[in-house]
Amino acid sequence: MMDSSKFKFDDKGLIPVIAQDYKDGTVLMLAYMNKESLQKTLETKEMWYWSRSRKVLWHKGDTSGHIQKVKELYYDCDADTLLAKIEQVGDVACHTGNRSCFFNRLM
């Protein structure tokens, strides 16, 4: 069992996690984890998140087949954000069908 006390979860018990392609560095998505999804991610080596809208634990790719295999998992200097370097199966991370959730250019 992981000691999650080192991490700074917010007042809702969540911590943001950035999913990044381990091969080319593309930022694929930003999501949130709670202690349970972090534990399941560590145990299975696949990404699990907490859905803030549906209020449920979800295994990335359960419905789409586009799972995320964890290659490396880091936490930042303040222990309040996670960075997951992942292998994106199917090359689609976004629910819109795009590779990355960051496809809307502002500048």
| Mean pLDDT value across the chain | 95
Q: pLDDT (tens digit, 9 = 90+) per residue, 32-68? A: 999 999 999 999 999 999 999 999 999 999 989 999 9
∠ CA 57-10-79, nearest 5°, is: 100
Q: What per-residue confidence (pLDDT) applies to 4?
A: 72
This prediction has a pTM of 0.93
Residue 61 exposure: Cα atoms within 13 Å on the Cβ side: 16
Q: What per-residue confidence (pLDDT) applies to 5?
A: 84
Q: pLDDT (tens digit, 9 = 90+) per residue, 16-40? A: 999 999 999 999 999 999 999 999 9
